[in-house]
Chain A
Amino acid sequence: MSYKEIAWNGLWKNNVGLVQLLGLCPLLAVTTSVVNGVGLGLATTFVMTMSNGIVSLARNHVPHEIRIPVFILIIAALVTLTDLAMNAYVHHLYLVLGIYIPLIVANCSVLGRTEVFAAKNPVLPSLMDGLMMGVGATIVLGILGGVREAFGLGTLFSGINMVFGEAAKSWVITVVPDYHGILYAILPPGAFLGLGALLAIKNWISLHGSSKALQAENPSVSGLDSAAAFH
C-alpha cells in the first residue's frame, strides 16, 4: 500500500470517526468546543502513531496468542506518558478533558489499528497509518466541536487560553455577537445529533460522488459504505 493510499484511507475512506465509527466515546463526549476536541484529538494521534510504530517493531517478537494483551500494555504505557505530559504542560486543558485522557486506552480504534495494520506492516508505513488515522479523527473532532460550539456558545476557539496562555484570549472568534446559546448543542443530546448530521453529510457526499463514478467504473460499489460498515 502506497503512502498516498494510507493517507487517503485515514483521512477519508476509512475515517475512524465517520466510517469505522470506533472510538465514539471521546468523539461525542469532549466535543463541546473546538479546543477540547482538537486537544484530545492530538493526544490520540500521538498515542496512535507511537503505538503503531512500537507494535510494528515488536511484531515479529510477540507470540500470536498473547498479542492483544501485549498491545494493550504498550498503548497503556503511552497513554500514561501522554497523561503525565498533559498534566505538566497544559494543566487547564488536562482538567477539562478529565478521564477521557486515560480512556484513550479503551479507545478501540487505537487497538484496532495496531491489530489491523501495525501487526502486519513495516515500521514506516505503520507510523504513517497511525498518524493519518489520528489526523482524520482529529479533523472530525474539530469539526464536531466547532459545530457544537458555534450553536451552543456562538463562539469558536473559546478556551484557547488554556493552551497558549492569557495572551491567546483575543484569538477567540465570536460568530454571533450577543448570542444566548442553545444549551441543547452543548449537552450530550447535541453530540449525538451533531455526529448524526456529519454522518448524513458524509453519506450524501459519497452518494453524490458515486453516482458520477458509477457510470465510469465499478457499478457494484455503493456510496453508502458508512451505512454498510455500521454493524
Chain B
Amino acid sequence: MEKYFLILIGTVFVNNIALAKILGMCPFFGVTKRLEVATGMGFATAFVLTVGSGASYLIDTYLLGPDLAYLRTFSFIVAIASVVQLTEMYVKKSSPLLYQTLGIYLPLITTNCAVLGIPLLNAQENHNFIESLLFGFGGATGFSLVLVLFASMRERLEGASVPEVFKGGPIAMATASLLSLSFMGFAGLVKV
C-alpha cells in the first residue's frame, strides 16, 4: 500500500511529466491560455492516460511479450488512438453532459506525447498492472495540476505589459521555466 502511495506522490510532484520529464508540451503551451479549457483538457488527459496505460500493459504482456518488444511503439499508438476514439463514441452516447466537458478535448489528446510516453516508460521499467495504472493516473494528475497552475499564471500575464520582443512565446517559456524551477523543489521528497 505504501509503495503505491509513493508512486502517486512521485509521479504527481517529483517526476512531474510536464515539468521534469518534459512530455506533453503541445497541450501544455497550446491549451493554457484559458483556465477552463486547461481544466477540461486536464480531466480528459487523466482519463485517457489511465485507460491507455492499462490497455498498453495488457498488450505488452499478453500480446507482444519479450520477442516482439520492437513492435511496442507501433501497437501502443494504435491502442491509444482506439481508446481515444472509443471513449469519444461511448461518452457521446451515454453522457451528453460529460461529452460537453470532455468531448472537444478528446481528439486533441492524440497530439499529447505523454499518452505514448507513459506506457513506454511503464514497459521499460517493468511495472505490473496496478503500478502501470497508478503511474498513468498519477502522471495525468500531475499534468492536470500543472496545466491549471500554468493557465492561471498566463491569464494574469495577459494584463501585464511585456516588452514587444517577449510577447507570446518567450514570456510563456520564461514562466514555464520558473514553474519548473519551483517543482524542482520537490526533488528528494520521494526516493524514486
Contact = CB atoms under 8 A, between A and B. Distances in A.
Interface in B60-114: 70-74, 77-78, 81, 110-113
B149 to A, nearest CB: 14
A54 to B, nearest CB: 15
B81 to A, nearest CB: 6
A47 to B, nearest CB: 12
B173 A199 contact: yes
A77 B77 CA distance: 11
B111 A106 contact: yes
Interface in B107-160: 110-113, 115-117, 120-121, 124
Contacts of A106: 77, 110-113, 115-117
A35 interface: no
Interface string A183-225: 0100111111101110110011001000000000000000010
Nearest to B124: A99
Chain B, interface size: which category?
35 or more
Chain A, interface size: which category?
35 or more
Contact of B168 (A24, A195, A226): A226
Contacts of A24: 25-26, 28-29
A176 interface: no
A69 interface: yes
A56 B74 CA distance: 21
A21 B164 CA distance: 19
A203 B169 CA distance: 9
A172 interface: no
13 contacts: A79-B73, A103-B120, A106-B112, A191-B22, A191-B177, A196-B174, A200-B170, A203-B165, A203-B167, A203-B170, A204-B165, A207-B164, A231-B30
